[in-house]
Homo-oligomer: A and B are copies of this chain.
């Protein structure tokens, strides 16, 4: 007997028929003698509808209300799953965030999960019942509904798997696993059987939409074994696990890209201690996620330029925050660009192999693709290029790093 968390995304529960199909996937686990907890997103399209309705007003001034509205999507889907389970003789118990309870921080619209009370869920499972938990939502200490940000249901699922010490957390989506690159763009892209948490974390951060970054962080921290698989086929997908020796052999595991990049450069900042804090504190307070940060070296005391990227949706707010803090940060002017894309190669092997960066740059150069910004981590190299070159860049790199071969 294993404890399994099965998480279903919006497209997997998008219609009544799909919900019934999902129930057959649940039944399969139950018939194998496993205990199951289900986590579900809202039916596909529903969250968007609710967001549109809420957007008749200024969301930034109405975050409590926003969370109250968008959390209704999951409330509907979990109840429908429970009904469909009953039809095939299984006993589901739909549970909202406040009923579990799942306690989150006070940051409406992007709360962090602070605690999950596992007692009710574990108790139901031990009695052969199937808790069906609303993803994406919890309550804060003031008894208000909070949500965990777009894709937050993945984080809910992994957090629940960690809380109940599940043997596996299966994330059912509309793709059948993690690929070396986007198969819609790179025709030789190949499904990975395994990927390390660290690599997946980079992929998720880099815009691979399969899993929310925070869900991967959480899986890594609690060593939850996560499987990404297709709800259509239910066939074996890609497993996220701790790094093992075999993986070391692969130089680069995959290539990710993101079109959601907005680039901000602050021109002529006097280079003195504390300037980075002055730039990023107000952004952090506004809960704006900063991605790449690039500061070129300078002789002491000379003026420097400072570049960073944010989500395109946050660009406007970021600019106004910078303008508000202009005298404090002491910059001359702002340059922005939101027609850039980020292309990244990821691989644990980079840590022990040299020359990976150069191989990447020369591959792009041979296609005459100009690189605007470079940023590296231990297991990842990202570059910003003009958005129009994405397809060219991905295919060139996929072939350079021989990702189409096992």
Q: Which residues of A contact B (CB under 8 A)?
A: 16, 50, 53-54, 56-58, 61-62, 64-66, 68-69, 71-72, 75-76, 78-80, 82-84, 86-87, 94, 96, 98-99, 143-145
Shortest distance between the CB of A249 and any CB in chain B (Å): 50
Residues of B within 8 A of A61 (CB): 83, 86
The answer to whether A82 touches B53, judged by C-beta atoms less than 8 angstroms apart, is no
The answer to whether B86 touches A79, judged by C-beta atoms less than 8 angstroms apart, is no
Residues of B within 8 A of A145 (CB): 96
Q: Give the nearest-CB partner of A81 in chain B.
A: B65
Shortest distance between the CB of A129 and any CB in chain B (Å): 13
The answer to whether B83 touches A54, judged by C-beta atoms less than 8 angstroms apart, is yes
The answer to whether B83 touches A62, judged by C-beta atoms less than 8 angstroms apart, is yes
The answer to whether A53 touches B76, judged by C-beta atoms less than 8 angstroms apart, is yes
Residues A82 and B56 in contact in the complex (CB < 8 Å), given A72-B72, A75-B72, A76-B50: no
- Counting every copy of the chain, the complex holds 2
Residues A72 and B76 in contact in the complex (CB < 8 Å), given A56-B16, A84-B57, A87-B57: yes
Scoring A69, A98, A144 by chain B CB atoms within 10 A of each residue's CB, the highest score goes to: A69
Shortest distance between the CB of A84 and any CB in chain B (Å): 7
Shortest distance between the CB of A10 and any CB in chain B (Å): 15
Q: Give the nearest-CB partner of A68 in chain B.
A: B79
The answer to whether B69 touches A57, judged by C-beta atoms less than 8 angstroms apart, is no
Contact of A80 among B58, B65, B80, B87 (CB under 8 A): B65
Q: Give the nearest-CB partner of A59 in chain B.
A: B83
The answer to whether B79 touches A65, judged by C-beta atoms less than 8 angstroms apart, is yes
Shortest distance between the CB of A119 and any CB in chain B (Å): 13
Q: Give the nearest-CB partner of A74 in chain B.
A: B72
Scoring A50, A54, A79, A144 by chain B CB atoms within 10 A of each residue's CB, the highest score goes to: A79
Shortest distance between the CB of A39 and any CB in chain B (Å): 16
Shortest distance between the CB of A198 and any CB in chain B (Å): 39
Residues of B within 8 A of A79 (CB): 54, 62, 64-66, 68-69
Shortest distance between the CB of A117 and any CB in chain B (Å): 12
The answer to whether B84 touches A75, judged by C-beta atoms less than 8 angstroms apart, is no
The answer to whether A75 touches B68, judged by C-beta atoms less than 8 angstroms apart, is yes
The answer to whether B94 touches A65, judged by C-beta atoms less than 8 angstroms apart, is yes
Scoring A62, A64, A144 by chain B CB atoms within 10 A of each residue's CB, the highest score goes to: A62
Shortest distance between the CB of A261 and any CB in chain B (Å): 31
Residues of B within 8 A of A84 (CB): 57
Residues of B within 8 A of A53 (CB): 16, 76, 80
9 A-B pairs with the lowest CB-CB distances in the bound complex, closest first: A72-B72, A57-B83, A65-B79, A68-B79, A62-B83, A16-B56, A69-B79, A65-B82, A65-B83
The docked-state distance in angstroms from the alpha carbon of A53 to that of B84 is 12
The docked-state distance in angstroms from the alpha carbon of A144 to that of B99 is 8
The docked-state distance in angstroms from the alpha carbon of A96 to that of B82 is 22
Scoring A56, A84, A144 by chain B CB atoms within 10 A of each residue's CB, the highest score goes to: A56
Residues of B within 8 A of A66 (CB): 79
